Structure 1
Amino acid sequence: MMTTRARVLPLVGAVVAALFVTADASAAVSLPPAHARFDYQIGGAYTPPSGVRVVSRDHGDAPAAGLYNICYVNAFQAQPDTEGEWGDLLLRDSRGDIVYDEDWGEAMLDIRTAAKRERIAAKVDAWIDQCAAKGFRAVEPDNFDTFTRAPDNLLTANQAQAYIKLLSAHAHGAGLAIAQKNTVELAGNRVANGLDFAVAEECAEWTECGDYVDAFGNNVIIIEYSARGLRAACADFGSTLSVVRRDVDVSTPDSSDYVYQTC
């Protein structure tokens, strides 16, 4: 997880991080402004708090007017109760049972072969196209780290990276930046994987944020879910990175569980 000491980036790294150009030079994409006030609204859209400049919302929602909008897609797991939409693209164990991320009740997608990765990517790419058509500026493919939770080594980091490269190429072709969501152990491969900025959950809680900064410069968005994590993130990175604390269910303000705090 992240280191607790501040990092100073070389000027050249900051320049490279400010604008990512796709490998085939077909499109230039704009990254979220660094150190901008951020809100994480993947649990439902609502009017952003005062001062917010960057918002992440589910691909089914509309972007917030006048802000930099990131489009959330669940790219490596199926949303609850949508297993029927995926057919043979769901990961199954040796008994033939669907493999679930037990924490969220989400079936894992089977990215073990090139053919299945391409078929899964085609479905997610359609969502990415919808994001672009709605006016989002970036995409956030969630659960890159599913391979770390798959039992019996059913999924691997290499498979996850082969798949994310398909999504990053498509996002760039649609004019969207693309985030690395969590998965700090692969942050050093972000250029090869075509990833432009990081969305890191609880990196201060686990002292990982510095590792994201090493790979992505100041193009890192930190989301914490505890008061302790927020304090640590603000103390070490509040002057350089976007930092927010949300409630674990990422609820809307009409919920008694709603939490929104920043540095």
Structure 2
Amino acid sequence: MRRTCVLVVLPALVLTGCSGGSGGAEAEPSPEPPGEWWRPRPGPEWQWQLTGRLDTSVDVPVYDIDGFHHSKETVDALHRDGRKVVCYLSTGAWEDFRPDADDFPRSVIGRGNGWEGERWLDIRRTDVLEPLMAARLDMCRDKGFDAVEPDNMDGYRNRTGFPLTAGDQLRYNRLIARLAHERGMAVGLKNDLEQIPELVGDFDFAVNEQCAQYRECERLTPFVEAGKAVCHVEYELPTARFCPGSRRLGLSSLLKRWSIDAWRRTC
């Protein structure tokens, strides 16, 4: 939901948005037959709202909303208005405020990720996490969502409390993509810019925070070149600072407040 490279301390890395290579890790994608899920093309207008009373009056074709907070009736109503609806979930961090929080054993819960009530997960423990994430994705499917925005997908670049590697992250991110596709939903790659070359084929679109502020938006080009949408948000730059670059690169960009409520400014 938010940029999570909060514990990197070297100034040079902060300026480049926590950039770095994948460490040469080998993690091959699993073959996946073509499915019938939604595949958003570059350039859609969208609304991202995770807090506050949902404002359904924004005239855009794509809504990205919290999967736990909203009902099937809300998703159905958005569909009747002609919208595609994306299910926001955290897949890489534990949240103490979710109804399934007690289902996560302490052994997979690590350091805080910088946000109240949230801690990184040990993504190596797919034996534990796969059924928990499958249940969350079942919820999204059963409510009728068209796609999933899985958050906190770059734990290996942070101090999680676990010795995560780039290979661990690739395997876990591909697992989440497969679980979404098996349920007939599109899936977006959230941040994790360093692994885009390896993951662009596994994901149907991208969601990015602050690539303009950290001067890294061109890293999202593989998605646009593959005919896949990039939904991009800035929090601290005025639109005049990032919209010209967003238009040039084919990004769907918004200015939002950190609370990610209904307020928005567009390019």
TM-score between both structures, scaled by the size of structure 2: 0.76
SS at match of 1:122: helix
How far apart, in 2, do the equivalents of 1:164 and 1:182 lie? 11
2:114 to 90, 102, 116: 102
Correspondence 1:26-105 to 2 at 5 A:
27-44=35-52, 46-60=54-68, 61=70, 62-63=74-75, 64-65=78-79, 66-81=82-97, 84-91=102-109, 98-105=110-117
Report the Cα offset of residue 105 of structure 1: 4.0
Displacement of 1:231: 2.6
SS class of match (1:199)? strand
Which structure 1 residue ranges, 5 or more long, are not aligned? 3-21, 92-97, 253-258
Any idea what SS the aligned residue of 2:135 has? helix
Equivalent in the alignment of 1:128: 137
181, 194, 197: which is aligned to 2:205?
197
Residues matched between the structures, number: 227
**Whole-angstrom CA distance in 2 between matches of 1:201 and 1:170:** 24
In 2, distance between residues paired with 1:124 and 1:111?
11
* Aligned AA (1:87): P
Give the superposition deviation at 1:89: 4.4
Pick from 179, 184, 191: which aligns with 1:182? 191
Cα deviation per residue 1:27-85 (whole Å; 9 max; x = unaligned)? 23212343121111122451234321111111121423320111111001011345533
Cα offsets for 1:172-215 (capped at 9, x unmatched) = 111111110001111111146x2121000111111111111234
Supply the distance in 2 between the matched residues of 1:99 and 1:33 (Cα, whole angstroms): 37
1:117-157, CA deviations, whole angstroms, 9 ceiling, x for partnerless residues?
Answer: 13212111111122122221111110011221225762222
- Cα distance change on mapping 1:47 and 1:103 into 2, 3 Å: closer
Shift of 1:219: 1.4
Change (3 A) 1:207 1:156: same
Cα distance change on mapping 1:183 and 1:26 into 2, 3 Å = closer
Asked whether the equivalents of residues 148 and 188 of structure 2 are also in contact (C-alpha less than 8 Å), the reply is yes
Cα 1:249–1:182 change in 2 (3 A) is same
Determine the C-alpha separation between the residues in 2 that align with 1:171 and 1:244.
Answer: 25
Percent pairwise identity: 26
User: Alpha carbons of 1:224 and 1:134: their partners in 2 closer, same or farther (altered >3 Å)?
Assistant: same
Find the aligned partners of 1:172 and 1:181 in 2 and give their Cα distance: 16
Matched, 1:162 2:166: no
Contact 1:53 1:67 in 2 (8 A): yes
2:9 aligned partner: none
Structure 1 stretches (4+) deviating beyond 4 angstroms? none
User: In 2 relative to 1, CA 169–45 (structure 1 residues): closer, same or farther, beyond 3 Å?
Assistant: farther
Report the equivalent of 1:235.
244
For residues 47 and 224 of structure 1, the distance between their equivalents in structure 2, rounded to whole angstroms, comes to 20
**Per-residue deviation, residues 71-128 of structure 1 (Å, max 9, x unmatched):** 111001011345533114424xxxxxx421134441111123xxx2132121111111
- 2:152 pairs with 143, 146, 170, which one? 143
- TM-score when normalising by structure 1: 0.77
Partner of 1:6: none
Q: 1:95 maps to what in 2?
A: none
